[in-house]
Amino acid sequence: QKEVEQNSGPLSVPEGAIASLNCTYSDRGSQSFFWYRQYSGKSPELIMSIYSNGDKEDGRFTAQLNKASQYVSLLIRDSQPSDSATYLCAVNLGGGADGLTFGKGTHLIIQP
Amino acid sequence: GAVVSQHPSRVICKSGTSVKIECRSLDFQATTMFWYRQFPKQSLMLMATSNEGSKATYEQGVEKDKFLINHASLTLSTLTVTSAHPEDSSFYICSAEGRMTDYGYTFGSGTRLTVV
């Protein structure tokens, strides 16, 4: 049974600070890792994908992957109120034929 | 960028009727499409994987005779919820993976199904 675990939150962060979101996964065969943002009532939108150990930066977002620890994280720098949303961690075994296994998501609140 | 259109966005139907949801890849060919379901305050759960021209693969616990999936072309997959019941009320979301994308899973906008 593939599992992806996230702290459901809510995680409250002051505006301008760094928000740190964490995720662990159970399937060691997982190869592809994604962070999605989902606003209430909307479908998820991709923020970052990461496939190799280490850090990957894209603007204010940094994804970190540690396959040995089965851990992936997302850092959001200079947090803005518009970043308030539920952040979903998703993994799959790496092939395009595989769907994604999602965590339950972390509800992030950026306080103005 | 890759765009996936999903229709309808919202549907209310009576118990016992069937509802069809369409998922179209607008600017790329989707070799594989995925159907997810999301209950309130829950995460997305993969229901089934459909490949163009072949039968869909259903996840454990998903009734294939109740959730009919057709992927007749590289740009269209449909999910039909047959004999809908109130417990089928949920947010249904499709995603597509195309040959030209770097395993970028593009999601449709979702369909909110309410069965009364």
Residue B116 has pLDDT above 70, yes or no: yes
Q: CB-CB: which of B103, B109, B112 is closest to A96?
A: B103
Whether the predicted pLDDT of B101 surpasses 60: no
| Whole-number average pLDDT of chain B | 90
Start-to-end CA distance of chain B, whole Å, equals 37
Return mean pLDDT, chain A: 93
Residue of B7, B15, B35 lying closest to B115 (CA atoms):
B15
Residue B41: what pLDDT?
A: 85
pLDDT at A95 exceeding the cut of 70: no
Among the partner residues A42, A96, A102, nearest to B32 by beta-carbon distance: A96
Q: Strands A11-14 and A106-111: what pairing?
A: parallel
* Average confidence (pLDDT) over B41-46: 91
Task: Tell me the chain A residues in contact with residue B95 when contact means C-beta distances shorter than 8 Å.
Answer: 99-100
Residues of chain A numbered 5-64 and touching chain B (CB < 8 Å): 32, 34, 41-46, 49
B1: confidence class by pLDDT, cuts 50, 70, 90? low
